[in-house]
């Protein structure tokens, strides 16, 4: 069907001329030179318009197909507020309500036994490389297989930098490995308590886990044994697990571990876990996630800050020395050079050395005596 209908009519050679709406009956119709030029122009315009319409239709179809594919396919970066998980593959088909910084759509959190956030910084690229060559998987598929085998998800956790070059280098690493959770906080050593709180808030929103683990990037870890520890039945729903310690409060600004607010603590620290690795149960993390910004006291040291928050809750302190073993043993879970270093001394090389020993990397998850029982 033509795009336009015309009311112009012409007489046939075998019939007398009939009156036309556009001509007078008293005069015979004569061809108009201007109309003879106008007609081809009109047809050219019609053809051009039709071609443009076809192209627009094709482009619209392609866009609709690609949009549908994007909605149904995986999302490589999952945002939650200002934080995002660069390895997360989630479906956005189920809306949970609210605005999580993802266009008003929150996706269902993946259920896990535990989420392990490896705290790292912009200057720790060599440590991450050593970890990826030892116990931490170096590609997304292997990371997923470890998660399926243990029920634990592992990510490096890092904040933001004002240095554009550092951010650009980080983006390259993210695209290659996709094993980060990015926090919307400044990455600064003196602000580690703030980063730690931001980590637990983000981890709680991104993952539905029974336990949330904070670990540093300079320890050697056995994921299988960590999973075994977390799978144990416990009487207390609010449990704080780590290598517990006490010690004198350092009030001299010239000394390491100086505590500016030491006068609020006294001469000796309260019981709290060493900082390289500790674990909080989901009920504790839910309370931290619900805390208003600025409502929790921040001490100079991150592990002390966490310990003080635990004092304000009715939590059970579970001391486990397998989380701070200075050497690999049949039961060690985390190995680091306690008390010489708050982690492994020279971790870039020590991680690889430990991984080469069978006791560290190839010994059974459970010692023989435990297996027999």
Question: Which residues 6+ apart lie within 8 Å of 180 measured at CB?
Answer: 85, 86, 87, 155, 156, 157, 158, 170, 173, 174
pLDDT at residue 366 is higher than 60: yes
The residue whose two tokens read 């060493």 is 274
Least confident of 90-99, 303-312, 344-353: 90-99
Contact indicator for 8, 22 with CB cutoff of 8 Å: yes
Q: Which residues contact 182 (CB under 8 A, 6 or more apart)?
A: 83, 84, 85, 86, 158, 159, 160, 174
- Share above pLDDT 70 across residues of the chain, in percent, rounded to a whole number: 72
pLDDT of residue 193: 95
Distance of CA 207 to the CA centre of its chain: 9
For the record, the structure tokens of 234 come out as 């416990």
**Residue 161 is encoded by which pair of tokens?**
């930098």
The answer to whether 316 touches 239, Cβ cutoff 8 Å, is yes
Digit-coded pLDDT (tens) for 240-274:
999 999 988 888 888 888 888 888 888 899 999 99
Give the distance between the most distant pair of CA atoms in the chain: 121
* Highest-scoring range by mean pLDDT, 8-17, 107-116, 227-236: 227-236
Give the model's pLDDT for residue 29: 45
Residues 6+ apart with CB under 8 A from 219: 276, 277, 334, 335, 336, 343, 344, 347
How is 166-227 classified by DSSP, letter by letter? HHHHHHHHHHHH--EEEEEEE--GGGHHHHHHHHHHHHHHHEEEEEEEEEETTSEE-HHHHH
- Are the C-beta atoms of residues 280 and 200 closer than 8 Å to each other? yes
Average pLDDT over residues 145-170: 97
pLDDT tens-digit series, residues 59-103: 666 655 554 444 333 333 444 456 667 665 333 223 333 344 444
- How far apart are alpha carbons 73 and 147 in whole angstroms? 21
Residue 308 CA to residue 319 CA, distance in Å, equals: 16
CB count, 10 Å around CB of 169? 14
Buried b (16+ CB within 10 A) or exposed e, 228-238: ebbeeeeeeeb
C-alpha angle 241-244-247 in degrees, rounded to nearest 5: 155
Backbone angles phi and psi of 318, in degrees to 5: -110, 110
From CA 273, how far away is CA 196, in angstroms rounded? 14
How many CA atoms does the CB half-sphere of 56 hold within 13 Å?
A: 6
Q: What pLDDT digit, counting tens, does each position of 220-230 carry?
A: 999 999 999 99
The percentage of the chain sitting over the pLDDT mark of 90, rounded to a whole number, equals 60
- Secondary structure of 86-129 as H, E, C letters: CCCCECCCCCCCCCCCCCCCCCCCEEEEEEEEEECCCCCHHHHH
Map out the domains of the chain with their CATH numbers: 78-243+274-368 (3.90.550)
Residue with more model confidence, 128 or 253: 128
Q: List residues bridging with 105 in a β-sheet.
A: none
Q: Which two tokens stand for residue 329?
A: 């043993």
| Whether 122 contacts 158, CB under 8 Å | yes
φ and ψ of 136, to 5 deg: -90, 125
Give CA torsion, residues 218, 220, 223, 226, to 10 deg.
Answer: -90
Q: What confidence category does residue 326 fall into, taking pLDDT thresholds of 50, 70 and 90? A: very high
Dihedral of alpha carbons 187, 193, 199, 205, sign:
negative
Residue 188: partners with Cβ closer than 8 Å, 6 or more residues away: 159, 195
Question: Of the ranges 55-64, 196-205, 228-237, 261-270, which one carries the lowest mean pLDDT score?
Answer: 55-64
- At residue 115, does pLDDT exceed 50? yes
Residue that has been written with the tokens 């989630």 in this structure: 90
Upstream peptide bond of 76 is cis (omega within 30 degrees of 0):
no
Question: How much is the pLDDT for 262?
Answer: 81
* pLDDT for the residue 5: 36
Share the mean pLDDT of the chain: 81
């Amino acid at each position: 069907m033509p795009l336009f209908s015309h009311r112009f009519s012409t007489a046939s050679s075998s019939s007398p001329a009939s009156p036309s709406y556009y001509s007078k009956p008293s005069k015979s119709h004569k061809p108009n030179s201007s109309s003879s030029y106008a007609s081809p122009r009109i047809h050219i315009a019609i053809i051009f318009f039709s071609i443009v319409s076809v192209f627009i239709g094709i482009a619209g179809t392609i866009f609709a197909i690609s949009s549908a594919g994007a909605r149904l396919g995986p999302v490589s970066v999952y945002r939650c507020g200002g934080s995002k998980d660069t390895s997360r593959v989630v479906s956005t088909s189920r809306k949970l309500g609210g605005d999580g910084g993802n266009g008003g759509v929150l996706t269902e959190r993946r259920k896990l036994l535990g989420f392990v956030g490896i705290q790292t910084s912009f200057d720790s690229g060599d440590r991450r490389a050593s970890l990826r060559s030892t116990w931490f998987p170096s590609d997304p598929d292997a990371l997923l297989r470890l998660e399926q085998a243990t029920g634990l998800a592992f990510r490096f956790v890092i904040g933001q930098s004002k240095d554009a070059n550092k951010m650009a280098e980080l983006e390259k690493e993210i695209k290659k490995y996709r094993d980060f959770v990015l926090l919307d906080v400044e990455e600064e050593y003196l602000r580690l308590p703030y980063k730690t709180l931001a980590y637990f808030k983000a981890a709680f929103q991104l993952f539905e886990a029974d336990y949330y683990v904070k670990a540093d990037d300079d320890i050697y870890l056995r994921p299988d044994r960590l999973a075994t520890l977390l799978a144990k039945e416990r009487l207390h729903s609010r449990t704080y697990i780590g290598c517990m310690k006490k010690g004198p409060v350092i009030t001299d600004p010239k000394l390491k571990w100086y505590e500016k607010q030491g006068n609020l603590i006294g001469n000796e620290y309260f019981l709290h876990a060493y900082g390289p690795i500790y674990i909080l149960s989901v009920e504790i993390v839910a309370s931290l996630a619900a805390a208003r910004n600025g409502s929790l006291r921040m001490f100079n040291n991150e592990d002390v800050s966490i310990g003080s928050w635990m004092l304000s809750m009715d939590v059970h302190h579970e001391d486990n020395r397998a989380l701070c073993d200075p050497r690999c043993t049949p039961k060690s879970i985390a190995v680091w050079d306690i008390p010489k270093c708050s982690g492994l001394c020279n971790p870039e090389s020590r991680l690889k050395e430990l991984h080469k020993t069978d006791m560290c990397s190839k010994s059974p998850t459970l010692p023989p005596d435990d297996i027999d029982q």
